[in-house]
Structure 1
Amino acid sequence: MADNPPPDMIKGHGKRGGGSSGKVADFRYKRPPRPEPRSVGTRKPRALTAEGPSFAPKGPAGSRQAYAALDLGTNNCRLLIARPSGENFTVIDAFSRVVRLGEGLAMNGQLSDQAMERTMAALHVCAEKLRRRHVRLARSVATEACRRASNGAQFIERVREETGIALDIISAQEEARLAVLGCHVLLEDGPGPAVIFDIGGGSTELVLVEPSGAVPRIIDWMSVPYGVVSLSDTVGGSDDELAARQERYARMKHAVLSAFEPFAQRVRAFARDRSTIRLLGTSGTVTTLASVHLGLPQYDRQAVDGLIVHSSAMRDISARLSSMSPAERQALPCIGDDRASLVVAGCAILESILDIWPAPTLGVADRGIREGILRSLIAADAQGERSRAEILAARGDAK
């Protein structure tokens, strides 16, 4: 057992959002063209292909309709608005803000007034963007913080009343599925199995997949209620001295590894041949560490999304960051004040994943749930348009 039990095992923390959401139809992707062999440190081609978008409905004067995906997590509020573009989609507006919705949740079991006010301010910005862009279809999801909070449902209702945004509290299983749909095109080619993971603010999802036609087939998955916010809040300790920082980091890794243990046992047989296993991560943790690895003066999505990095390099960066003082971390480009206090927990989770799935390289994705939602929305709407066209054509033949 972990010294610090996962937050949802603490008294007063009930589970919410059981079962997969069925509000948006699933679909299959077309696999992007096979790229030329790549060396470590290069980026995977960033094609975003989906089946059906080229038939997406058109608005006035033949313009493409806009679709939106909003992901309200434990730490961030993120919005993407896009239009279909051939087999891809083009982002026409975006928004991201650190809201720390889950701040204090691990200890108190509910969303705090301050956290809800920060989040409402961000959601009002999102609502204005949705109106201004005349969005045809949108899906807005809330994840671990609202799943776990005793006042999560009341907050969702407040959001609907004040902004018009209808948030869907999705299950951990649905969260994992959408993350895979959004980023799997960046998975390294190869015959072996792969793990795709998403380190969030309040939870981490691990998905074991294998190649299977257009999209990877999901073999196994697990979600644990440890993300960068919940782990930081649960495993306390001082950051004043190096020895104290190292001791806290060790306790973080121990807690996460204990929570991952059932999944680790189930996937152990798949990881026997380390030369063929693959690993792909989507989260602020992996994109931040990739930025540090590249020495970027500021974050650059084009440089990070699709990057392949040696796992040993990510371990070295994790060890270095966990030993730094908060002030030293704040001074690093691409980390700053917002991530300085949380990145250490992300490093502990990442190293734990590398312990149970020791792939030689790690793929980095700056995409995930929102992209998965957008693909689903566009393809489902396109399928509906095709069905309506077929019905109208059949009626015309009947006449």
Structure 2
Amino acid sequence: MTGPVAAIDCGTNSTRLLVAEGGTTLDRQMRITRLGRDTDATGALRPDAVDRTVEVLREYRSIMDRFGVERVRATATSAARDAANRDVFFDAAEDVLGVRPELLSGAREAELSFRGATADLDPDLGPFLVVDIGGGSTEFAFGTTEVLGSLSCDMGCVRLTEAYLHHDPPRPDELSQALSIVELHLQDVAREVPHAGDAATFVGLAGTVSAAAAVEIGLADYDRDRIHHFRLTRAAAEDVFRTLATEALADRIHNPGLERERADVIVGGMCVLVGVMRYFGFDECLVSEADILDGLAASITG
């Protein structure tokens, strides 16, 4: 069967759409919907968060109809995994989309992210450690042409911010605590994915990584071609982290390249990014704008 396909990722922090045909991207969309706001504390999705996300899905359905999309794969990840009332969201999403979102396990999420991120990379650059820093979880996948080891950790930009970064700007002790939690999770990664630190290329995915690259470049307007496969050095990542972590939110939002809607959780995400680079000793991060959406789209067409 031919024709355009669509992939939708309903994450903790953002809801995203990819429409593609024959390996060609027709449209990409991203909205900050914060589906997982307070889910870590309450164990449930907030009604307003569900409403926000479903409204975006309604917009995406219109976009898919415009392209004549008949095959859709929608997924939900960390926030839905943690929520006792996820079926309320799934029911509403199915009414709008015509398909029910799949609840992905962390392992499957890691595999799809790896597939999407490495599809356009030269295998000679491997083995890869692909790290997808989400809102509620971070997925690690190691391999060259296939995943040889993976782990999903319950840390992400929203989860760390809500749990530890309570002041504006975060206090040094809060940052230290968040970084310590990241390191504990990375110890799990090193144990479960023992060759993770041997990766020749560290590939970073998702909004935190893209924002760090955009801030480093000083990119006022999003430009996928400039961010995709940008090499963010550890020194640059540390500099961006120091800048954002010491600014109050009212100042942080003025950094070129940082979306206003992401500014309140970016420091939590940067704790993960710099934590990974410090723990495993990576000198640079290859920023990828190809991710789980691309993996999902590829899975539809085989």
Cα distance in 1, alignment partners of residues 156 and 133 from structure 2: 6
Compare CA radii of gyration and give the structure with the larger one: 1
Cα distance in 2, alignment partners of residues 207 and 283 from structure 1: 14
Among residues 231, 239, 251, which one is paired with 2:168 in the alignment? 239
Q: How many residues align?
A: 302
Map 1:58-137 onto structure 2 (within 5 A).
58=2, 65-84=3-22, 89-137=23-71
Cα distance in 1, alignment partners of residues 121 and 95 from structure 2: 40
1:195 aligns with 2:121: no
Describe the SS at the equivalent of 1:219: strand
Structure-1 residue corresponding to 2:154:
225
Structure-1 residue corresponding to 2:230:
307
Cα distance in 1, alignment partners of residues 282 and 167 from structure 2: 32
Change (3 A) 1:174 1:270: closer
TM-score by length of 1: 0.71
Among residues 256, 267, 272, which one is paired with 2:182 in the alignment? 256
Describe the SS at the equivalent of 2:171: helix
Describe the SS at the equivalent of 2:268: helix
CA shift for structure 1 position 192: 6.0
Map 1:271-286 onto structure 2 (within 5 A).
271=197, 277-286=200-209
Structure-1 residue corresponding to 2:100:
166
CA shift for structure 1 position 78: 0.7
Cα distance in 1, alignment partners of residues 95 and 125 from structure 2: 50
CA shift for structure 1 position 279: 0.5
Amino acid in the other structure paired with 2:50: M
Amino acid in the other structure paired with 1:335: L
1:363 aligns with 2:292: no
Amino acid in the other structure paired with 1:301: R
Q: 1:246–1:322: 8 Å Cα contact kept in structure 2? A: no
Calculate percent identity across the aligned residue pairs. 28
Q: 1:193–1:270: 8 Å Cα contact kept in structure 2? A: no
Map 1:384-399 onto structure 2 (within 5 A).
none
CA shift for structure 1 position 186: 5.2
Amino acid in the other structure paired with 1:334: G
Q: Deviations over 1:288-342 (max 9, x none)?
A: 1111111212221110101122222212211221111111210111214211111
Please, what is the CA RMSD of the aligned residues?
A: 2.0
Map 1:332-351 onto structure 2 (within 5 A).
332-351=255-274
CA shift for structure 1 position 151: 0.3
Structure 2: which 5+ residue stretches go unaligned?
none
Q: 2:75–2:102: 8 Å Cα contact kept in structure 1? A: yes
Cα distance in 2, alignment partners of residues 337 and 292 from structure 1: 12
CA shift for structure 1 position 120: 1.2
Q: 2:234–2:274: 8 Å Cα contact kept in structure 1? A: no
Q: Deviations over 1:67-91 (max 9, x none)?
A: 111111111111111111xxxx222
Cα distance in 1, alignment partners of residues 227 and 76 from structure 2: 26
Q: 2:277–2:283: 8 Å Cα contact kept in structure 1? A: no
